[in-house]
Structures are given as structure tokens and as C-alpha cells.
Amino acid sequence: MRGMLSLIEVNLSNNWLSGAIPAFGPFQKSAASSFSGNAKLCGDPLDVDCGSIYSSNYGMDHRRISYRVALAVVGSCVLIFSLVSLMVVLFMWRERQEKEAAEKKAEAGEMVVPAPQVVASTVFIESLQQAIDLQSCVKATFKEANELTNGTFSTIYKAVMPSGMVICVKKLKSVDRAVIHHQTKMIRELERLAHINHPNLVRPIGYVIYDDIALLLHHHMPNGTLLHLLHNDGDSDDDKQKPDWPRLLSIAIDIAEGLAFLHQVATIHLDISSVNVFLDSHYNALLGEIEISKLLDPSKGTASISAVAGSFGYIPPEYAYTMQVTVPGNVYSFGVVLLEILTSKLPVDEGFGEGVDLVKWVHTAPARGETPEQIMDPRLSTVSFAWRRQMLAVLKVAMLCTERALAKRPKMKKVVEMLLEAKNS
């Protein structure tokens, strides 16, 4: 418009224009009415100061921006606070849940301990390697409710695998450190024992070593031990499977055959007792704890009595001065088990009198005027003449096995023959 030199007057009324009127001669020479109807126009020739309009709009815009920023900041703070509060609440809830779970486990008798670091482990039987979880084996030993037997050299626990399989976990006691110090020898001996092929010996199926603890894995024996079978009369479940003489005689023969095999392969058992005789689902007897003699010192076939004593009541008298476990000593211990089967009495009982054990009580029966029939369990010996005859024959074998003189004790191979003769008599 600045090039329109002939322009004298303009009329821009009612056009909804806004802003400052430019400094241009025709604009300023025009009447104010030429710009009416434009509420947002300012400057000459209007009496509206542009400064007041702009400063007012700027203030309003500035306030709007400040309000939005403040709203965004406050909203962000509220969101962050809410998220942090939610995380704190979730963390406290989780801690409370874990604490309650730990308390429930403690009430149930289960120790809450972190899983230990396994140093060495293996499962010898390939078909069982997927079914056996080694951490489950370790954790089973932390719960007292899983304890099955507590012997001289080990405690045996029941362990249920995630697969549902049930096995026995044997936790070694006093020999733990010796085993760890000879780990390579131990593993070699366990592998050898795992391949022993005899139906009356409990063979290891694997092992776990952690810290200074050694665990041996075995098949689960559903009918427990001979100790349990003979002496747990108060258990209502046992009434259904009350031991009869034919079953007990078969168990005695099974033990004798397993022990005779050990002697044949130059292995001396260190703890022959009824608690170490295990019964499978068909009441076949298997002799346990066969690993102990080799684990104490794998380079020797015998072990010092200072490290090994066996179970009280089953220890032969000569061990007190020879300080050495022997084959005749094994025969003596087996004879105590036979007497335990025949009499249904424990090897040590207050009823025998002070300083008298089962062996002495049986051997001194004639001096007390008691007959063999009075020694034997009448619940068995009075059932039939055939049972009584067999029991008397087995009693003679037990008396020979528990002779004080080592030379009079028969070899286990001969014991097996005599027991089979008694069974067939």
C-alpha cells in the first residue's frame, strides 16, 4: 500500500482486524470511524494504546503457561509418589508373605535354610538321573519329620522328589570329615559298591557332597527295618503284617547270604544290627551300611575300633581288647540278630538284670533252670510243632555264632547252610 501515493483515505471498519495500525499517512489521516468494528486494533488515529493491550495479553499468556507448567510438575510429582508408594507397599507385602511362610514352615518343624552349594554329586543309575533332584535330597535332611532311622554311623531320611519318586538319603555322622578328605577314594568305592550284584545288600544309587557333609542315596524300603518289624507292636498298621516265623526265618537267611557275600569279597561289616536290616515291599531283607567300612579307610579291609564301635548290644566281647573289627566279630553280631528274632527281645534290656545282655541271658538259661522253649517267643514257638522244631534248630546256630571263643564261631557260608537245613527240616 506504501506504493499507492494517490491514496488519500481508507475505511477498514467492521473487518475484525487486530494489532497496531501501521504508521502510514493515509491511515493516520483517516477518521477514527474508518477503523470501527475492529475491537483489537490500536494506535493512531484510535485512542487505544497498543502498550496496554499487548502487556495485558502477554500477562494472560504468561499466566496460562505458568499454570500449565505448575500443573504438569504437580501431576508428575503425584504420579512419582504414587508409584514409589505402590512399590513400597508391594515390597512390604512380599516380606510379610515370606515371613508368614517361614513361620508356618517353622511350626511344621521344617528348618528354613538356604540351599547349600553342592561340591560333588552323581546318580549312578542312568535311568534315575532325571527323576532324582539333588537339592531335594539335601533339603530332606533339614526336616526332622523325614527321619526314618538313626544308626551308629548315619541318619537316614525319606526324600520325595518333584517327580514323585521316593528315595532314602543317608547322612553320614562321625566319618563326614574323613570322607571329604578322601573324596576321590570315596567316589571310587561308591561306584564299585553300586555295581555289587547281590539281592540282599543295599547298594548306593548316588551321592551328594556339600560343605563337609556326605549324603548317600538309596532306594526306598517301604517296609522299614527289622527293628521296626520285631519291636513296634503298638503300631496299629503293623497288626496287619504281624511277623510270622516263616517270614522271619527267610529274613534271617537273607541277612546271612548278604553277609556271606561281603566276606567273600573281603569286606567286613562294621555295624550289623536289626536297625541296619531293611525290608523291601515283599519283605525281602537287605543288609545296609555296607559302605561304611570302605569309606572310613578305603585302602584297608578292617578299621580301628577307636573309630568304629558298632551298635551297643551287638558288639562282640573281644573288640574291647583287640581294637579291630573281624570276620568272627561279624558272625557274633549276626548271632545277636538271630537271638533277637527268636526271642523278640532287644539286645539290651533292663529285664535281663544288671550287666546282662541278650547273649548272656540266653547262654545262662540252663543255669537258671530255663528250657529253650522258655527263651523263645511263645507267640511263635507255640503256633505249631514245625515252627518250634525250626526255631530250636536256629537257636543252636545262634548259640554257635555267639560263642565267646572265636574259633568256635562258624563261617557265614556255613551259617547259611545250617539255616537252610533248619528251614527244610
CATH number at residue 350: 1.10.510.10
Nearest to 304 by CA among 332, 326, 285, 282: 326
Q: 309 falls in which pLDDT band (50, 70, 90)?
A: low
pLDDT category at 248 given cuts 50, 70, 90 is very high
Residue for grid cell 518250634: 388
**In the prediction, which pLDDT does 4 show?**
61
Element (H, E) at 19: strand 18-20
**pLDDT at 182 (0 to 100):** 62
pLDDT confidence of residue 306: 41
Is 80 exceeded by the pLDDT of residue 108? no
The DSSP bridge partners found for residue 46 are none
For residue 360, tell me if it sits in a domain.
yes
Choose among 342, 408, 402: nearest CA to 373.
342
For residue 153, what is the DSSP state? S
Residue 412 located in a structural domain: yes
Which residue, among 235, 43, 205, 49, has the nearest Cα to 132 in the 3D structure?
Answer: 205
Is 413 inside a domain boundary? yes
With bands split at pLDDT 50, 70 and 90, how would you rate the model's confidence at 223?
very high
Please give the order of strands across the beta sheet that includes 166-172.
Answer: 118-123, 206-210, 213-219, 166-172, 154-160, 147-150
Q: What is the mean pLDDT of residues 193-216?
A: 87
pTM over 0.95: no
Per-residue pLDDT, 103: 65
pLDDT at 176: 47
Highest mean pLDDT among 77-86, 118-127, 305-314, 368-377: 368-377
pLDDT at 7: 66
Grid cell locating 99:
515371613
For strand 18-20 and strand 40-42, is the pairing parallel, antiparallel, or unpaired?
Answer: parallel
- pLDDT value of residue 300: 43
Mean pLDDT of the chain: 82
The alpha carbon dihedral of 294, 299, 305, 307 has a sign of negative
* 42 CB-contact burial (10 Å; exposed 0-12 / middle 13-18 / buried 19+): buried
Give the strand pairing for 166-172 and 154-160.
antiparallel
Q: Is the pLDDT of residue 350 over 80?
A: yes
Burial call 11-30: b when 16+ CB within 10 Å, e when fewer: eeeeeeeeeebeeeebbeeb
Provide Rg for the chain, Cα atoms: 47
From the DSSP assignment, how many helices (H) and strands (E) are in the chain? 16, 10
Query: Can you state the angle between helices 245-264 and 327-343, rounded to 10 degrees?
Result: 170
Percent of residues, the chain, with pLDDT higher than 90: 42
Number of domains in the chain: 1
pLDDT at 311: 78
Q: Which of 247, 227, 252, 241 is nearest to 348 (CA)?
A: 227
pLDDT of residue 348: 92
List the catalytic residue out of 212, 238, 254, 271.
Answer: 271
Asked, for residue 272, whether it belongs to a domain, the answer is: yes
| Residue 271, in any domain of the structure | yes
Better-predicted residue by pLDDT, 47 or 233: 47
> Looking at the domain assignment, is residue 404 inside a domain?
yes
- Decide which of 99 and 182 is more confident: 99
pLDDT of residue 157: 95
Does 396 or 151 have the greater pLDDT score?
A: 396
Number of residues written out for the chain: 425
Which of 245, 250, 405 lies closest to 332, judged by CA? 405
Query: Residue 99: its pLDDT value, please?
Result: 74
Cα separation, 401 vs 416, whole angstroms: 12
**pLDDT single digits (tens) 254-299:** 999 999 999 999 888 988 999 999 999 999 999 998 877 666 543 4
Q: According to the per-residue pLDDT averaged within each range, which of 37-46, 115-124, 206-215, 296-305 is highest?
A: 206-215
Q: Is 274 exposed, middle or buried (0-12, 13-18, 19+ CB in 10 A)?
A: buried
The yes-or-no answer on residue 47 being catalytic is no
Q: Is residue 376 part of a domain?
A: yes
pLDDT given for residue 91 in this prediction? 85
CA dihedral 31, 33, 38, 41 (to 10 degrees): 30
pLDDT at 161 over 70: yes
Q: Where are the beta strands (DSSP E) in 45-153?
A: 118-123, 147-150
- The pLDDT, as a whole number, for residue 24 is 66
pLDDT confidence of residue 253: 98
Domain hosting residue 355, numbered range: 221-424
